């Protein structure tokens, strides 16, 4: 399908919907300078074993490997600004078209763009928890300190290693957030996938829940996904370019 026609079609789906829900992944934040995990050029997975550096088991064995690996991502995340795609989703919420964002991202850029109902399936850097006594701390000052001195954050109460509240491989998704996201997916009549390979389970079950409950599926992703065949509209382009175009159509049709 011609991209311009697809863009107009997505705009009319959003305008006519009662409950559009966005499901976002790392690809929505690449235009903000944060690499996704699967692009061949970013190198975040190339020199490491994900099960060693980014799993709960690996973290408990060797937190230094996790912290060394996460260092560049944390720096980029703290420096990043929301881009046009985040801004459009925030505006669609304010206009009453979008009822929620379900995100796999840990970068907090949706909230910084002004979105208020954001379900962060894979956690975030705003908080961090001691792996020994489970005391929770504000995460951002700890992260800034770590970026300044590269020392693994330690609990002031018990000396245990502190872990950011991001979900590692082998870790349960936060149950209340997952349930709320599943509920939003059930209520959605349009699900807008933006910048996700849809390869990470159980997050990738969310679009399936939405389509089973009758939602139209729109995929905006640079590369093809295994879900493209099930989608009503697929656009393989940069989300930060496509979403503002969709927005112009939505506003024209008001």
In the complex, which residues of this chain contact ligand NAD (CB under 6 A)?
25-27, 29-31, 34, 36-38, 104-107, 122, 195-197, 199-200, 220-223, 238-240
Identify which of residues 81 and 253 has a Cβ nearer to ligand NAD in the complex.
81
Contact 195, 235 (CB under 8 A): no
Exactly one of 122, 124, 132, 236 is catalytic; which is it? 122
Check: CB of residue 230 under 8 Å from CB of residue 224.
no
Instruction: Work out how close the CB of 132 gets to ligand NAD at its nearest, in angstroms, rounded to a whole number.
Output: 25
Phi first, then psi: give them for residue 108, nearest 5 degrees: 65, 15
Whole-number Cα distances in Å, 3 to 91, 215, 237, 246:
22, 21, 9, 11
Q: Which among 108, 110, 109 is positioned nearest to 98, based on CA atoms?
A: 110
Distance of closest approach, residue 196 Cβ to ligand NAD, in angstroms = 4
Would you give the DSSP letter of residue 235?
E
Tokens found for residue 131: 């792996």
When the beta carbons of 95 and 222 are compared against ligand NAD, the nearer one is 222
How many Å apart are CA 11 and CA 239, to the nearest integer? 14
* Minimum separation from the CB atom of position 239 to ligand NAD (A): 4
Between 121 and 162, CB nearer to ligand NAD: 121
Q: How far is the CB of 231 from ligand NAD (least distance, A)?
A: 14
Active site residue 71: no
The closest residue (CB) to ligand NAD is 27
* Residues carrying an active site annotation: 122
């Amino acid at each position: 399908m011609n991209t311009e026609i697809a863009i107009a079609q997505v705009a009319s789906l959003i305008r006519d919907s009662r409950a559009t829900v966005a499901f976002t992944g790392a690809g929505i934040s690449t235009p903000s300078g944060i690499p996704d995990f699967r692009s061949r050029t970013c190198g975040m997975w190339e020199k490491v074993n994900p099960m060693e550096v980014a799993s709960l088991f690996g973290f408990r064995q060797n937190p230094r490997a996790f912290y060394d690996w996460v260092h560049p991502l944390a720096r980029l995340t703290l420096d990043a600004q929301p881009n046009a795609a985040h801004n459009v989703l925030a505006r669609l919420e304010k206009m009453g078209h979008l009822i929620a964002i379900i995100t796999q991202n840990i970068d907090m850029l949706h909230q910084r763009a002004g979105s208020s109902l954001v379900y962060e399936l894979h956690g975030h850097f705003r908080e961090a928890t001691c792996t020994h006594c489970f005391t929770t701390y504000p995460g951002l000052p700890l992260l800034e300190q770590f970026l300044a001195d590269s020392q693994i954050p330690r609990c002031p109460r018990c000396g245990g290693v502190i872990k950011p509240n991001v979900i590692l491989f082998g870790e349960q998704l936060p149950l209340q957030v997952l349930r709320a996201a599943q509920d939003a997916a059930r209520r959605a009549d349009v699900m807008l996938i933006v910048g996700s390979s849809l390869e990470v389970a159980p997050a990738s079950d969310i679009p399936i829940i939405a389509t089973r409950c009758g939602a139209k599926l729109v995929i905006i992703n640079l590369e093809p996904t295994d879900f493209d065949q099930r989608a009503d509209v697929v656009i393989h382009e940069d989300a930060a370019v496509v979403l503002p175009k969709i927005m112009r159509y939505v506003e024209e049709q008001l």
